[in-house]
Amino acid sequence: MANMGKKLRDLIEKGEHFVVGDTFSAITGRIVEYAGFPAAYLGGHACSAFHYAVPDNGVFSQVEQIEQASRIANVINIPLIADADTLGETVADAYHFTRRYIQQGIAGFHVEDERNPKHSKHVNGLWSIEDQQARIDAARRAQRDSGQDFVIIARCDELYSSEMGGGGTGSMDEAVKRGRAYMEAGADVLFYPPRPDFVPELVKRLGANIPVSTMGFSLPDTAFNMHTGGWAVAAVNHLKMARELMETGQVTGAFPEFPEKYALIDHPLYDGLIEEWAAGTGRATRPNHAP
């Protein structure tokens, strides 16, 4: 398998802004690649909601995220970035889970500095700078020990204030201080959710030598945009379809035209294998496959 971490790093080092396509399952990973995106992104909320029907507020585990991320990474030929939340509770967790991500072919992740349980009713604040540096350092050690390249994106939630549901205080000075400290600890890229209006000032104050990524919006002088939200579109459409079926007994457009489906699931490959086996053993074949 190609070193996806190296492929992702090469994309970043080209210095040309790119969009990382939204994925939340193996088939959506294939769709992102098919559509031409250079990389794919699996969000934590997307994975927790779509696959486990639980919120992304600390109850969703890294074991569950790695399970789904590996399914996606192993069916695409572009780098996958995963949302690694806080990478567990300790530096040992951070090392262990980083190694697991690398073993499964994931190209990189972002690790955040909000204390668990994150994004919840609990007013928790952020890890100390020293604690978050230690997590990043543990992740970088795991990368070095693996012998594989791996991109570490440090997510700083200082500008994601408690009033917005985050753990930060909203201080620009603290956000810059934390970002620089995280880069010193071994991060490759910084990520500051959730407001685009803060990003230009951050980029200016951090300097051109520090790559900054965004989520859901593209801005000048940023490295890349990790897009997410497709799982909600799929869920809303399914809810609409289910309600219509329940109320009327039928669904308008229940089987939409989807000719790309066969290429996306490697149908020609597997049909070809079966046809060769059937013909080679004197079994009957037919010109069509089952719909």
CATH of the domain at 211: 3.20.20.60
Say yes or no: 49 and 159 in one domain: yes
Residue pair 48/54 in contact by the 8 Å Cβ criterion? yes
Say yes or no: 272 and 155 in one domain: no
d(CA 15, CA 235): 35
d(CA 216, CA 232): 14
Say yes or no: 224 and 263 in one domain: no
d(CA 202, CA 13): 20
* 244 lies in some domain: no
Say yes or no: 103 and 48 in one domain: yes
d(CA 113, CA 116): 9
Say yes or no: 84 and 227 in one domain: yes
Phi then psi dihedrals of residue 35, to 5 deg: -75, -10
* 144 lies in some domain: yes
The SS3 assignment for 190 reads strand
Q: What is the pLDDT of residues 34-53, one digit of tens each?
A: 999 999 999 999 999 999 99
Q: What is the pLDDT of residues 199-238, one digit of tens each?
A: 999 999 999 899 999 999 999 899 999 999 999 999 999 9
Residue pair 85/56 in contact by the 8 Å Cβ criterion? yes
Q: Is the pTM of this model over 0.75?
A: yes
Enclosing domain of residue 213: 4-233
- Structurally, how many domains does the chain consist of? 2
